[in-house]
Amino acid sequence: MARNADVVIVGGGVIGLSAAWEAAERGFSACVVDPEPGHGASWVAAGMLAPVTEAGFGEESLTRLSLEASRRWPAFAERVAVAGGEDPGFQACGTVMVAADASDRAAIDHLLGYQQHLGLEATRLSASECRDLVPGLSPGLRGGALMPGDHQVDNRRLVTALLAACAAGGVRLVAQRAGAVSLHGGAVSGVVLADGSTLCAPVVLVAAGAETGRLGGLPDGVLPPVRPVKGHVVRLQGPTGAPLLDRTLRGLVHGRPCYLVPRRDGGLVVGATSEERGFDRTVQAGAVHTLLDDARTLLPGVDELELVECIAGLRPGSPDNRPWVGPASVPGLVIATGHYRNGILLAPLTAEAVAIYLTSGSVPAPLDAFPPGRALEAGDALSTARRPAEVSG
Ligand SMILES: Cc1cc2nc3c(=O)[nH]c(=O)nc-3n(C[C@H](O)[C@H](O)[C@H](O)COP(=O)(O)OP(=O)(O)OC[C@H]3O[C@@H](n4cnc5c(N)ncnc54)[C@H](O)[C@@H]3O)c2cc1C
């Protein structure tokens, strides 16, 4: 059958679009299949690039991966901007974390001790040092920590910029759902689209986020066990010229994690819940109430901002919180999913690894340690238990 592309990518979120663009940059003809490119978790996310604040107990390999990804970000953002002519909104702003009460302070100190033990850049701050860095903070807070290397990107500008870069690089976009991967002689031959037509390609990259497991056509157990982890986010808007914050603010409020991520245009992203509710994307009043209440506990000026959006999305979770990147057991099938709470951060590294795999047949380090079909490691399996200072993005 005539080949439609060298590689068909199922899913046009941050992972699929970055991989498609990097593949096209290396001379592959790439085709992205997605009915709503850029509007999955990648649209809902806050865009924190936070290898240090996200470092969880027992997740050392993921932390090393995240640090490596973080180092890629400035150059990646620059390349995407040049390729498509759209600024992805990367900001090297740093992060302050604060505690609402004494037990939040103890939890942050515990986490800080672990981060410093790993050699990560994180410093303890008194309450007044926190207020010097973030002038609008609530007076009753108990101090916190500074993570100067945890930055952010405007994830909505990012997917827009990636779409522009893909278009400029000749990536074809098919606005349909892929129903199944098609096989011929036991190897991948393309994908079957929702309208019944087929796209033929010797390689199919599955980057369908939380919905990866719903793709048909493959024997049981070939696709990794991705599960949806729901997250609510609230978007607020203030005046452009006088932002409430000039860096990311994260906090623990009576044990609950909360973050406020400022955008250059005066926007503020407040997040996020972490809920196991299957494929439910409904926005619930209680979640919105809690997020706003916690945000104003940290930064009372939030009360004056305009409430512009409440939204919920599905993180692609994995049993050990780590992504799967690389070839699957069916020849021609490549997987890039399970990026859970760090998919925006990990996108440049994942895309580069996929493109190198397409060129060389090998997944480069450090992502070679995250293959599809791997067994859970004891250390990482432990990390799925609730941690003392759960600060998920
Ligand atoms: C509330 C929240 C906050 C977050 N905050 C952060 C953060 O601050 N920093 C960070 O790094 N990460 C964050 N994340 C995680 C991050 O958003 C995800 O890890 C990342 O977006 C995953 O990207 P993806 O491309 O794999 O999935 P998605 O962005 O979900 O994209 C998957 C795409 O696949 C498409 N698709 C699915 N099935 C099919 C099919 N059969 N055929 C065709 N297309 C299909 C969908 O339409 C979708 O566009 C957050 C997530 C949430 C929900």
Q: Which of 317, 337, 354 is the last residue of a domain?
A: 317
Same-domain pairing of 243 and 348? no
Residue 332 has which token pair?
């021609």
State whether 282 and 252 are in the same domain.
Answer: yes
Instruction: Give 136-166 pLDDT, tens digit per residue.
Output: 999 999 999 999 999 999 999 999 999 999 9
Q: What is the tally of structural domains in the chain? A: 2
User: Do 181 and 197 belong to one domain?
Assistant: yes
pLDDT of residue 386: 33
Does 289 share its domain with 262?
Answer: yes
Residue 255 lies in a domain: yes
- Same domain for 283 and 211: no
Position with higher pLDDT, 20 vs 380: 20
174 neighbors 31 (Cβ within 8 angstroms): yes
For residue 258, what are the domain limits?
Answer: 92-151+228-317
Q: CA-CA distance, 355 to 371, in Å (whole number)?
A: 15
Q: What is the pLDDT of residue 155?
A: 98
Please say if the pLDDT value at position 173 is more than 90.
yes
Within a domain: 200: yes
Atom of ligand 1 nearest to the CA of 208: 34
The reported pLDDT for the residue numbered 242 is: 82
For residue range 41-66, list pLDDT tens digits in order. Answer: 999 999 999 999 999 899 999 999 99
Of 317, 346, 366, the position where a domain reaches its end is: 317
Smallest Cα–Cα separation from 65: which of 333, 352, 327? 352
Residue 114 Cα, ligand 1 centroid: separation in angstroms?
29
Cα–Cα distances (Å) from 365 to 279, 326, 353, in that order, read: 33, 11, 8
Give the pLDDT of residue 377: 53
| Statement to judge: residues 125 and 244 lie in one domain | yes
Q: Is 372's pLDDT higher than 70?
A: yes
Q: Which atom of ligand 1 is nearest to the CA of 393?
A: 5
Residue 344 and residue 288 share a domain: no
Contacts of 206 (CB under 8 A, 6+ apart): 10, 11, 181, 212, 215, 223, 328, 333, 334, 335, 336, 337
Q: Which CATH number covers residue 49?
A: 3.50.50.60
For residues 254-281, average pLDDT = 97
State the average pLDDT over residues 373-392: 48
Q: How far is the CA of 340 from the centre of ligand 1 (A)?
A: 8
Q: Average pLDDT in the 182-193 region?
A: 98
Specify if 87 maps to a domain: no
- Same domain, yes or no: 299 and 235: yes
Pick 372 or 376 by higher pLDDT. 372
204 and 249 co-located in one domain: no
Are β-strands 306-317 and 324-327 bridged in parallel, bridged antiparallel, or unpaired? unpaired
Distance CA 374, CA 382 (A): 16
CATH number of the domain that residue 306 is part of: 3.30.9.10
Ligand 1-lining residues (CB < 6 angstroms): 10-16, 33-37, 39-42, 44-48, 177-178, 207-211, 215, 231, 233, 271-272, 313, 315-316, 337, 339-345, 393
Does residue 72 register a pLDDT over 70?
A: yes
Query: Residue 376: pLDDT band by 50, 70, 90 thresholds?
Result: low
Q: How far is the CA of 344 from the centre of ligand 1 (A)?
A: 8
CB 125 within 8 A of CB 137: no
Lowest-pLDDT range of 117-126, 233-242, 245-254: 233-242
pLDDT average, residue stretch 67-73 = 97
- pTM value is 0.96
Expressed in percent and rounded to 5, the helix, strand and coil fractions of the chain are 35, 25, 40
**390, part of any domain:** no
Do 233 and 371 sit in the same domain of this protein? no
Q: Are residues 54 and 111 in the same domain?
A: no
Residue 143 in domain: yes
Task: Confirm whether 189 is domain-assigned.
Answer: yes
* Interval 92-104: pLDDT, tens: 999 999 999 999 9
Would you tell me the crossing angle of helices 343-360 and 60-84 to the nearest 10 degrees? 80
Mutate to test the pocket of ligand 1, among 8, 153, 155 (most ligand atoms within 8 A of CB): 155
Dump pLDDT digits (tens) for 282-332.
999 999 999 999 999 999 999 999 999 999 999 999 999 999 999 999 999
Residues 239, 296 within the same domain: yes
Average pLDDT over residues 103-125: 96
Q: Is the pLDDT of residue 378 over 90?
A: no
